[in-house]
Amino acid sequence: MPQSRPVIVLSRPLPDMFTAALEQLGEVRVGPADLAGARIYLAAGVDSVPAELIERFPPELGLIANIATGIDNIDLPAASARGIAVSNTPVVTEDTADLAMALLLATCRKLSASERALRAGDWGAGAGMLGTRVHGKTLGIVGMGGIGQALARRARAFNMTVLYHGPRRKPEADSALDATYCEVLEDMLTQADVVSLNCPLTSHTRHLLNASTLAAMKPGAVLINTGRGALVDEAALVSSLAQGHLGGAGLDVFEFEPRVTEALFDFDNVTLLPHIGSATAECRTDMAMRAYANIERFLETGSPLDSCT
């Protein structure tokens, strides 16, 4: 009797080429309505995998393959309780660091507001919009993992002083990037002209930037967030911007995305992007290939390539 093919359920329709590749590994279904017999659930990083969905998974489902680096869209305790492995696609480092640097430059130099003025036919308003210098300033990085270190390399090319905060010191960053570790977050915030959030969202980092820590930032400092939206208390951010304490913010992620806090649209010194840190053709291809590799490895060995559990 022929052996049945493993069932792979996709959280949403994915590009035809990727779906065709997955069909070489097993039977592909789209949407969580039909989970019977599924071995793998493939989630786009924007799709939630809550406990209620995990409870519906059949006993044979052993892997949630996430097409994203972050895994905060998945209820990890629920997956762990069922013995389900979780994998991610940690191949977005350079592209996300590129975007973080682009946001830093765009926000400090008010590129978005200047372009809007020019498109509206107001040359004078755009030309007269003064930003702030980037080279030689101090950058504070929260989260000196792969993306944080990649951003630090870019910042050093602009002759920026690099400080960083995280749960532990990274000696390799200290030497290779001439970076300085700040064990206490507020110690870094009081020194940095620009603060970039590059850490994962956890119960410990949710609202890491709140009314108190935003107030600790230097007057006129700029906040960049390409990590996760809920790292920042957006109500407190709006208040800090409205009071003129912060000099600006560059945001690729939002606390309530896809909804953006309405008041953020009112600030000319805020650059807003729709979560496009990994949005290059090359990076998305890399992510798809990595997700495929995780599924293939799981089917061969019972463990994914990039296990997060």
Q: Give the number of other CB atoms < 10 A from CB of residue 171.
A: 9
What whole-number distance in Å separates Cα of residue 299 and Cα of residue 125? 59
Question: CA distances (Å), 44 to each of 88, 111, 291, in order?
Answer: 10, 31, 10
Each residue's pLDDT tens digit, 230-250: 999 999 999 999 999 999 999
What whole-number distance in Å separates Cα of residue 227 and Cα of residue 254? 9
Mean pLDDT of 83-104: 98
pLDDT band for position 3 (cuts 50, 70, 90): low
Q: Return the pLDDT at 32.
A: 93
Does pTM top 0.85 for this prediction? Answer: yes
Task: Detail the DSSP E strand segments found in the chain.
Answer: 7-10, 27-30, 38-44, 63-67, 85-87, 138-142, 161-165, 179-181, 194-197, 222-225, 248-251, 270-272
198: closest CA among 109, 97, 122? 97
Mean pLDDT of 266-279: 96
Each residue's pLDDT tens digit, 104-124: 999 999 999 999 999 999 998
pLDDT band for position 144 (cuts 50, 70, 90): very high
Asked if 222 contacts 107 with a C-beta cutoff of 8 angstroms, the reply is: yes
Asked if 250 contacts 105 with a C-beta cutoff of 8 angstroms, the reply is: no
Each residue's pLDDT tens digit, 43-75: 998 899 999 999 999 999 999 999 999 999 999
Q: Which residues are registered as beta bridge partners of 194?
A: 139, 222
Q: What angle do CA 99, 243, 202 make, to 5 degrees?
A: 45
Cis amide leading into 200 (omega within 30): no
What whole-number distance in Å separates Cα of residue 183 and Cα of residue 173? 14
Asked if 65 contacts 306 with a C-beta cutoff of 8 angstroms, the reply is: no
Tokens matching residue 220: 């006129």
Query: What domains are defined for the chain?
Result: 7-91+281-301 (3.40.50.720), 93-272 (3.40.50.720)
Each residue's pLDDT tens digit, 163-221: 999 999 999 889 999 999 999 999 999 999 999 999 999 999 999 999 999 999 999 99
Q: Return the pLDDT at 224.
A: 99
The residues annotated with a catalytic role in the active site are: 228, 257, 275
Q: Return the pLDDT at 81.
A: 97
Q: Return the pLDDT at 286.
A: 97
What whole-number distance in Å separates Cα of residue 140 and Cα of residue 181? 10
Assign residue 297 a region (left: φ > 0; alpha: ψ between -120 and 50; beta: otherwise): alpha
